[in-house]
Amino acid sequence: MKGAAWFAIVLVASTVQAQPGTTGAIDPPLSPRNASYSIAATLDPVSRTITGSETIRWRNLTTAPAAELQFHLYWNAWRNTQSTFMRERALGSTAAAENASRSANEWGRIDVSSVKLTAPWQADLTASQRFIAPDDDNQRDQTVLMVPLAQPIAPGTTATIEIAWTAHVPRTFARTGAIGNFFFIAQWFPKLGVLQDEGWNCHQFHAGTEFFSDYGTYDVALTVPTGWPVGATGVQRDRHDNGNNTTTHSYYQDDVHDFAWTTSPEYLERTARFEHPTLPPVEMRLLLQPEHADQAERHFDATRTTLKYYGEWYGAYPYGHITIIDPAYQSGAGGMEYPTLFTAGTRWLAPSRVTTPEGVTVHEAGHQFWYGIVGNNEFEDAWMDEGLNTFSTARAIAQVYDPNYLALRYFGGFIPWVFKDVVLRRETDGNRLAGYRRDARSDAQTTPSYRYFPSTGGSITYNKTALWLNTMERWLGWPTLQRIMSEHFAKWKYKHPKPRDFFDTASDGAGADLGWFFDQVYRSSNVFDYGVQDLKSVRDQDQFHTTVIVRRYGEAVFPVDVLVTFKNGERAIEHWDGQERWKLYAYDRGSQALSADVDPNRVLLLDVNLTNNSRTLAPQGPRAATKWSAKWMVWLQDCLLSWAALV
Ligand SMILES: [Zn+2]
């Protein structure tokens, strides 16, 4: 997009900051609204069945006619073990045992009973529907439904599609499903893929990746047992008792790309408000588990932290309301984002100064910005929301919840113990260095995310991106990176950016071509590893002759400083371009050298081996290495425990 058009969008956006948050309606529109859904659905909690019907109003935004329609039927990933999702999940170690523990009633499915086109012409398409598998040709996969059209829908034309279906709610898969009388319902209705100029972008459901869809208006009527609170995307506009022990809750929201909801008779409801001198107010609604009643303010406080810092750094949250869901114990629904709603996740006995529930709350609230407002393709470029959000989460946490400490849980996870001598650090813990280090070579970020090796993709998507962004912050300065990220946000809100869009904005914002950096961190799986190979400092007549050899052990290249410290306190700082495999620095000085450090300010957070970054002439080397490796173990343990569940 050209600069002039971007300027116009910024002007439009600034006029809608005062949107009231109470109706879900936004005028003028923020997004193209080319995929809007009116849905009516009834949940029978006893049989765990959803009966639904929907009307989709879809406009062809591309330059090509659409000869067919493609829909996601995500819940068919959980029909049996032959779906692509389950086959991929089986590449992990525990899937088979978990599958075997499920009764027939604990699997999921969605069955479309009718598909009709009602505009621009009328046609019953039910008989022509069939499943396709564009990603892997798996004939057993039923997560993409294709419906051919007798004549194509021309560019600019709006089509209206009516679909009826029934679905069975599984015991939770992928944060969706039921446990007891707790229901979390997501990715649950037949949903159009995204038509692009190249054709439909409608991937099968994969074990390692998430979602992609166009923006629109959601107008959804949910019928559940009377007395069961409902939380959902958007704002409740109506609630009426049907007189048969069911109540219908109607929710509405403009300018979002998905709709999720939850119901359970156990929920407690709390409300609070976010206010800020320059950002629009946000009404916060929390549905939480009774055993966590004393943690309500911590959820609100972490959500405020997100709305404040992400709002100040990137751009305002425009919807005026947000719903926080604290899911049931062992529901498996925690830590997931949906438009204007997210699931957090806490535990009974959550000590202060430990970032549970704050870490997960900030991360999932943060997805309102990276995923909700800026809508990248999570099947293909998951790093664009998860990586930017992981970086932002750590940055926001560091503003408010510093210091925070390592906590481990004992006695089956019930009793937490806080290690006050292990302070968690933004750069290493928050950016999840240990996980990246373990999986650094597993994939390059150019690989479509759904093709990452399932159990290691997260390290590349989340950790590596956050580490290279934090490296950019330490290298270019926060004002420059903040300008880059806020410009990316302004250009691409309510749209679908591709990686090159971020890279172009980054080079513009930095005032220099950063292509060489993205070639390494995005287009390659090479690792960075700089180290001090040798330090000598020997008497030569009335002086000391000092030699320092620094080495590039990894394939990736980045400029690094080299700091040589002498016993009399003198320091020499060299700026090495890092290109050659090694470099010699030599000094003749009156003082003997004490130590040499490569990258002493830890700019390059992607360096996979820190133990070789410094050498000292005093006999402290082995002690330092032991200290480092102990810290690595703690970091690794923490990453596994604290972060593994975040999406
Ligand atoms: Zn996430």
pLDDT at position 638? 47
Contacts of 99 (CB under 8 A, 6+ apart): 81, 86
CA distance 431 to 390: 7
What count of other Cβ atoms lies within 10 Å of the Cβ of residue 244?
8
Ligand 1 center–CA 391 separation, angstroms: 11
Ligand 1 center–CA 103 separation, angstroms: 30
Ligand 1 center–CA 293 separation, angstroms: 25
User: For the sheet containing 66-72, what is the strand order?
Assistant: 130-131, 144-153, 66-72, 191-192
Distance of CA 245 to the CA centre of its chain: 39
pLDDT at position 514? 98
* Residue 135 structure tokens: 């990603």
CA distance 514 to 504: 9
Contact (CB, 8 A) for 556 and 471: no
Q: DSSP string spanning 611-640?
A: TTSEEESSS-HHHHHHHHHHHHHHHHHHII
Q: Which tens digit of pLDDT belongs to each residue from 89-109? A: 888 666 777 788 899 899 999
Residues of the chain with pLDDT under 50: 1-20, 620-623, 638-647
Ligand 1 center–CA 312 separation, angstroms: 20
**Which residue type does 106 have?**
E
CA distances from 79 to 43, 71, 136, 409, 451 (A): 19, 17, 18, 35, 22
Ligand 1 center–CA 645 separation, angstroms: 9
Q: How many helices (H) and strands (E) does the chain have?
A: 13, 32
pLDDT at position 358? 84
Ligand 1 center–CA 360 separation, angstroms: 9
Ligand 1 center–CA 270 separation, angstroms: 24
pLDDT at position 571? 98
CA distance 396 to 370: 14
What does DSSP assign to residue 81? T
CA distance 264 to 15: 39
Ligand 1 center–CA 647 separation, angstroms: 4
Strands 268-274 and 321-325: what pairing? unpaired
Ligand 1 center–CA 193 separation, angstroms: 21
Contact (CB, 8 A) for 39 and 218: yes
CA distance 250 to 447: 41
Alpha-carbon Rg for the chain in angstroms:
27
Ligand 1 center–CA 389 separation, angstroms: 7
Q: Which of these, 478, 464, 583, lies nearest to 528 by C-alpha position?
A: 464
CA distance 147 to 22: 38
pTM of whole model > 0.85? yes
> For residue 297, which phi and psi values (nearest 5 degrees)?
-65, -30
CA distance 430 to 413: 22
pLDDT at position 644? 43
- Give 421's Cβ-side CA count (13 Å radius): 2
* Residue 383 structure tokens: 């790093």
Angle (CA) 79-82-88 rounded to 5° is: 105
Ligand 1 center–CA 386 separation, angstroms: 5
pLDDT at position 410? 55
Signed CA dihedral, 27, 258, 197, 132: sign only: negative
What does DSSP assign to residue 27? S
Ligand 1 center–CA 327 separation, angstroms: 17
